[in-house]
């Protein structure tokens, strides 16, 4: 597992950027030390530092983007796991239900059906445990972390 993690191109890029960040920090420290020991003039220091700061900021920005993308991917995987587990539990319980109980479940899940000229939009609510909050206009009271999701299907033969 660790080998696969180390072989990940995103992880390799992150490690490369961290090394570059450390190299730039070291280079900036050396310039400051050289100035303090009067090996560089103030003009020379002012000439080199802005470029190093720009490079450092670009690296920090890219690192933050990589970390944010990794968090987003992790959230998506958690949502997928939650939906898969919900579907598994629902399927296991649905096998023993009569038609009336099945209709109740559908009524709980499907909140709105919008029929357009060439598509059908089904707004449904599936409780997602430990998910991030949804926008205020889509949150349902009483559902922990739940909200509306849209399922759009084209109508066969529609234009």
Q: What is the 3-state secondary structure (H, E, C) of 105-146?
A: HHHHHEEEEEECCCEEEEEEECCCCCCCCCCHHHECCCCCCC
Helix (H) or strand (E) segment spanning residue 67: helix 42-94
pLDDT at res. 2: 61
**Mean pLDDT of all residues in 140-155:** 45
Which residues contact residue 81 at a Cβ distance below 8 angstroms, ignoring those fewer than 6 apart? none
pTM higher than 0.95, yes or no?
Answer: no
Per-residue pLDDT tens digits for 102-123? 888 888 888 888 998 999 888 8
Per-residue pLDDT tens digits for 118-127? 998 888 776 5
Per-residue pLDDT tens digits for 93-103? 777 888 898 88
């Amino acid at each position: 597992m660790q080998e696969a993690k180390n072989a990940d191109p995103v992880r390799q890029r992150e490690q490369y950027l961290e090394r570059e960040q450390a190299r730039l920090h070291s280079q900036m420290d050396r310039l400051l030390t050289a100035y303090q020991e009067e090996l560089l003039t103030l003009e020379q220091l002012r000439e080199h530092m802005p470029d190093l700061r720009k490079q450092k900021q670009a690296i920090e920005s890219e690192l933050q983007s990589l970390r944010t993308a990794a968090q987003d991917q992790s959230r998506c995987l958690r949502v997928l796991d939650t939906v898969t587990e919900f579907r598994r539990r629902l399927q296991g319980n649905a096998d023993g239900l009569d038609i009336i109980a099945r209709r109740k479940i559908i009524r709980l899940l499907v909140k709105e059906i919008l029929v357009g000229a060439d598509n059908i939009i089904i707004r449904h609510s599936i409780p997602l445990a430990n998910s991030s909050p949804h926008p205020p206009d889509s949150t349902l009271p009483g559902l922990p972390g739940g909200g509306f999701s849209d399922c759009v299907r084209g109508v066969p033969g529609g234009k």
